[in-house]
Structure 1
Amino acid sequence: MPEGHSVHRIARQFDRNIVGRSVAASSPQGRFAEGASVIDGREAVEVRAVGKQMFLRFDPDVWLRVHLGMYGAWDFSGEVAVDATIAAANGRMGQTNQRGTVLGEPILDAAGENSLTSIGAPRRARVRMSEQTTGLEEQSEWPPPVVGAVRLRLLTETTCADLRGPTACQLQTPDEVVATIAKLGPDPLVDDVAEGEERFVATVRRKPTAIGLLLMDQAVVSGIGNVYRAEILFRARQNPHTPGRDVPEETVRAMWRDWVRLLAIGVETGQMMTMDDLDPEAYRRAMAHRDDRHWVYHRAGLPCRVCGTTVLVEEAAGRKLYWCPNCQA
């Protein structure tokens, strides 16, 4: 499932390429034909990302709500103006990252997690960044042909955004948008960070639910998915089965602050980088390969990177939970 960093990156792409332009909207798949007809020809005037949901406002006050869910993704093609921060974090401007690692060349994930043109669930996209490319593949025709089941196509004179496989794609009134957002937990990139911390701590500390489930509850905190859940718990050395109300307050606060930091890194790099203090070569490997990027996620049966104990995996509310029974005892 695309996690919070991906949705914020998507919003940046929309802000750069769609907002301020009139949009031709269609539903090639047909499942959003009525909604597409309402926004067709209107100007996109504002975009917001909150947790795993994006809200795009069309003139004068019609909102498109998109929740990618498990399998959704946006594919961008045509002339795609890349956010400067995102481009730099992918090595295209040769900057030094916050850990002191110099990125002189693009470091691109073969699985496409940090793709600048296809953001969401991993997929083999028609147009995307990959290890073999340093830019967008040439378009043979415009508008580009529809490939696969496209729920919604938004087309400007120069840029195309195709939505595939979302859990939710609907139009909302301003009041409905406010009500939707009100049900979500704090998002470090939207809410005041200090106020968000207090909300998060207060909610967790009164819940009998296991902390491993609370971190995935979007009403408790916005944007955390399976990867960030496992990694935040490990970094806090917190047993995922402990009821929220029994987790020490200082640990709950530390997890919030860790989420603030990891989310910012995810937005900047396009990757869920959760390991710290890597030397330049290790950092480059981690950016290029998911297996070198995480402490416990997707490492079931392998030795813990810290203590050597076998990493466990179990089902938790229908999702896989990875953890070290020694470090997180």
Structure 2
Amino acid sequence: MPEGPEIWRTADSLSYALNDKPITGLHFAFDTLKEFEAELKGKQVENVEARGKAILTFFEGDRVMYSHNQLYGKWMLRENGKQPDTNRKLRVAIHNKDHSAYLYSASQIEMLRPEEVPEHSYIKKLGPDVLHPDTSYEAILDQYRGEAFQNRKLTTLLLDQGFVSGIGNYLRSEIMFYAGVDPHNKLRDYSADEKEALASATVKLSRRSYETGGVTNDPSIVEALKREGAGRRDQRFFVYKRTDNRCHKCGAVIREEKTGGRKIYYCPDCQLEE
């Protein structure tokens, strides 16, 4: 499932293609949304934003489309009404004179009023979105300090969208590595300095991944690896999916463990206490 940086980049692409251009045609596959095809034709998309792992499309006329890709949903953009060559099932299509946006395979699509957005069953449970322009480092640090989360295991907590929204499996391992913390503890077991390091890593790596298209590794390390001829897969991460490879920072062998049905990756020398 895409994580916050990928969802925000998708929202940016949709905004570029759709914002402030009259809609020339719409298609909704679900019968419950058919009535909006005529209502919204000729109006404009005013904005597209991410909320956790969902996307909100704001239409002129106080309509907001909520969509969540789940595991298989995918937005695709094309010019001049061309349709992608895919076997996926089309759920939504939005056309203007320059571009067409197609949403395939998504199962959760709803039309809301703006005032209904904060009370949507998914959105109201979200923690602060680490990539939202209004989210500060202090807001993320407050989550790490919050009493409600102290008895939670860090590896589980980082995937809880009610804690900090937008974090998924690759960011989880990368954040713990960058903060230099042992991944096996509950939140209460970390010092104040470690919680500050976790908050800083959460913000820095999420935003770095957004800006780079999915790269969390330090730019200096990436450049060195490029000079050595390493491919993108080897350049991209500190530890995620680098089992049995050497840590870029200390040279120790990266380990993996399964927790809660999903793998975490860590460096024993950089993260585990003696």
TM-superposition CA deviations, 1:300-324 (whole Å, max 9, x none): 2334344444433233233222223
For residues 259-270 of structure 1, the aligned pairs below 5 Å read 259-270=202-213
Q: 2:201 aligns to what?
A: 258
SS, match of residue 253 in structure 1 = helix
Q: 2:97 aligns to what?
A: 157
Q: 1:189 aligns with which of 128, 131, 137?
A: 131
Q: 1:126 aligns to what?
A: none
CA–CA distance in structure 2, aligned partners of residues 216 and 296 of structure 1: 17
Amino acid paired to 1:45:
E
Q: For residues 36 and 216 of structure 1, do their structure 2 counterparts lie closer, same or farther at Cα, with a shift above 3 Å needed? A: farther
Q: 2:189 aligns to what?
A: 246
Amino acid paired to 1:38:
F
Does the 8 A contact of 1:36 with 1:152 survive in 2? Answer: no
Q: Which runs of 5+ in 1 are unaligned?
A: 80-141
Does the 8 A contact of 2:5 with 2:131 survive in 1? Answer: no
SS, match of residue 327 in structure 1 = helix
Amino acid paired to 1:200:
Q
Q: For residues 43 and 263 of structure 1, do their structure 2 counterparts lie closer, same or farther at Cα, with a shift above 3 Å needed? A: same
CA–CA distance in structure 1, aligned partners of residues 118 and 126 of structure 2: 10
Amino acid paired to 1:188:
V
TM-superposition CA deviations, 1:163-218 (whole Å, max 9, x none): 12335322223233112433211123323404413432233774211111111111
Q: 1:35 aligns to what?
A: 33
CA-based RMSD of the aligned residues comes to 2.7
Amino acid paired to 1:272:
V
TM-score by length of 2: 0.84
Q: 1:11 aligns to what?
A: 11
Q: For residues 68 and 300 of structure 1, do their structure 2 counterparts lie closer, same or farther at Cα, with a shift above 3 Å needed? A: same
Moved more, 285-294 or 247-256: 285-294
Does the 8 A contact of 1:208 with 1:244 survive in 2? Answer: yes
Q: 2:59 aligns to what?
A: 58
Q: For residues 285 and 16 of structure 1, do their structure 2 counterparts lie closer, same or farther at Cα, with a shift above 3 Å needed? A: farther
Q: Which runs of 5+ in 2 are unaligned?
A: none
Q: 1:201 aligns to what?
A: 144
CA–CA distance in structure 2, aligned partners of residues 260 and 285 of structure 1: 29
Q: Percent identity?
A: 29
Q: 1:224 aligns to what?
A: 167
Q: 1:89 aligns to what?
A: none
Does the 8 A contact of 1:56 with 1:64 survive in 2? Answer: yes
Moved more, 35-44 or 46-55: 35-44
SS, match of residue 20 in structure 1 = coil
SS, match of residue 268 in structure 2 = coil
TM-score by length of 1: 0.71
Does the 8 A contact of 1:204 with 1:211 survive in 2? Answer: no
Query: What count of residue pairs does the alignment treat as equivalent?
Result: 264
Does the 8 A contact of 1:205 with 1:245 survive in 2? Answer: no
Aligned-pair CA distance for 1:233: 0.5
Amino acid paired to 1:16:
Y
Q: For residues 287 and 154 of structure 1, do their structure 2 counterparts lie closer, same or farther at Cα, with a shift above 3 Å needed? A: farther
Does the 8 A contact of 1:72 with 1:163 survive in 2? Answer: yes
Q: 1:95 aligns to what?
A: none
Which of the pair has the greater relative contact order for Cα pairs under 8 Å at 6+ separation?
1
Aligned-pair CA distance for 1:292: 2.1
SS, match of residue 63 in structure 1 = strand
Aligned-pair CA distance for 1:228: 0.8
Q: 1:147 aligns to what?
A: 86
Aligned-pair CA distance for 1:229: 0.6
Q: For residues 226 and 161 of structure 1, do their structure 2 counterparts lie closer, same or farther at Cα, with a shift above 3 Å needed? A: same
Q: For residues 271 and 246 of structure 1, do their structure 2 counterparts lie closer, same or farther at Cα, with a shift above 3 Å needed? A: same
SS, match of residue 146 in structure 2 = helix
CA–CA distance in structure 2, aligned partners of residues 213 and 286 of structure 1: 36
Aligned-pair CA distance for 1:230: 0.5
CA–CA distance in structure 2, aligned partners of residues 204 and 236 of structure 1: 21
Does the 8 A contact of 1:77 with 1:160 survive in 2? Answer: yes
Q: For residues 192 and 303 of structure 1, do their structure 2 counterparts lie closer, same or farther at Cα, with a shift above 3 Å needed? A: closer
Aligned-pair CA distance for 1:67: 2.0
Q: 2:114 aligns to what?
A: 174
CA–CA distance in structure 2, aligned partners of residues 25 and 316 of structure 1: 43
Does the 8 A contact of 1:70 with 1:167 survive in 2? Answer: no
